[in-house]
Amino acid sequence: MNILVCVRRVPDTSENEIQLNAEGNDIEREELVYSVNEPDNYAVEEALQIRDRVGGTVTVVTVGGEEDEEVLRRELAMGANQAVLISDDAFMGSDGRGIATILKEFVLKGHYDLILTGVQADDGAAQVGGMLAAMLDYPFASLVNSISVEDGRLQVSREIEGGNREINEIELPCVLSIQTGINEPRYVGMRGIRQVASVPIPTLGAGDVGVNPVTVGQKAARVKRVDYFVPTRSEGAELLCGSRKENAEKVLELVAAKGGLK
């Protein structure tokens, strides 16, 4: 099975102190540490595990700039067969639909049985997977937390409210958005990255992928960010400042008062 995983490089939320910039239209990006978007990493791991079970290849792709090569390299070190960087000045400022358009053209250039994305990017809006499926006219399943491969189709499950699981059957080729927790992504150490340091990562521009530059980028974006702010602390939050024992008792009391204990 040939699997394509769409990944994205994002500021690592566990290692950054996210602050607004002076203009108030974005976060302060200087000194940020970036890493691969966490759900995307689970998607790559899942792709590798499927490949190791049934054979095939895993390709990792991202739309971005030169600096995004770092995450592709990490996924190669995890065991992906190849990585592709799609980069063009014309793509700057694309909205979700723009990214999906670029990826659609890329997918049509290759032969992929299965396309995986992370459930959403830490700084994204969970749009690309669904749109990509619609543009390709492929079936789409979201929030997938297990995959089993059957002849020409997959059984995928998702968790629904209350911890229940729902199993769906889906025809190949298809697009799935992968939930964290579907597996335990393997560790990539410095040695692994060094070992793939010389593996070439092709960079494709708008022309290579066959994207009409007018359909993507900032001008074509139909969703535009207009503000960015940190919500102010409001009423309604109660801080417990007693000892551990007092706090525990108070919590019990509050939960019981709201009918949480029966």
Partner 1 sequence: MISPFSSANTHDWLVSSRSLFLTIHIVGILCFAYIAAKRLALLVRAERDLRFDHPLTRAGRVVKFWLGQWKHPRYKFAGTLHILIFAGFILLVARTFSVLIGGVNQNSVMPGLPGRVPHFYDIVTDYAATVVFLCMVIAVVRRLVFKPARYAVPPKYGKGRTADAIFLLGLIAILMLADSLFAASHSSQGRPIETLAVLSLPWVLQVALGSASLATLAAVSFTAYLAHELAFYFLLCYRPFGIQFHVETSLFSIYFSKLDRERLKPVRWGVSDERLDQVKSFGVKKFEDFTWKHMLDFYSCADCGRCADHCPANAAGRPLAPRFLTIKARDYAFRHYPVFGKANNNRPLIGDIYSENEIWSCTTCGACEEECPLLVEYIDKIVDLRRGMIDDGQVPQSLQKPLKAIESRGNPYGKMQKKRAEWTKSPEFQRTCDIRILDGKSDADTLYFVDSITSYDDRMQSIGRSTARILSHIGEDFGILGAAEKDSGHEVRRFGEEMLFMALRDHNTDAVKASRTRQIVTADPHAYNALKHDYKDVPPVEHISQVIAREVKSGNIRFNPVEDEDKVFTYHDPCYLGRHNHIYDDPRTVLDAIPGLKRVEMKRSRDRSFCCGGGGLMLFYEPQEEQRMSVLRVRMAAEAGATVIVTACPFCMANIEDAIKVAGMEGKMSVLDLTELVDQHIVRESVAEIEETATCGG
Instruction: Please report, as ranges, the residues that interact with partner 1 according to CB under 8 A.
Output: 12, 14-17, 31, 33, 35, 78, 184-192, 194-195, 244
Q: Closer CB to partner 1, residue 70 or residue 171? A: 70
58: tokens are 């895993």
Structure-token match 């049509």, residue found? 108
- Taking the complex as a whole, the smallest distance from the CB of residue 16 to partner 1 amounts, in Å, to 8
Q: Closer CB to partner 1, residue 3 or residue 78? A: 78
Report the Cα–Cα distance between both ends of the chain, in Å, rounded: 51
Q: Closer CB to partner 1, residue 40 or residue 88? A: 40
Q: Closer CB to partner 1, residue 186 or residue 250? A: 186
- Taking the complex as a whole, the smallest distance from the CB of residue 79 to partner 1 amounts, in Å, to 8
- Taking the complex as a whole, the smallest distance from the CB of residue 35 to partner 1 amounts, in Å, to 7
Q: In which order are the strands placed within the sheet that holds 82-86?
A: 164-171, 153-160, 140-150, 174-178, 114-118, 2-6, 57-63, 82-86, 203-204
- Taking the complex as a whole, the smallest distance from the CB of residue 197 to partner 1 amounts, in Å, to 10
- Taking the complex as a whole, the smallest distance from the CB of residue 243 to partner 1 amounts, in Å, to 8
Q: Closer CB to partner 1, residue 72 or residue 188? A: 188
- Nearest alpha-carbon partner for 221 in 90, 108, 121, 109: 90
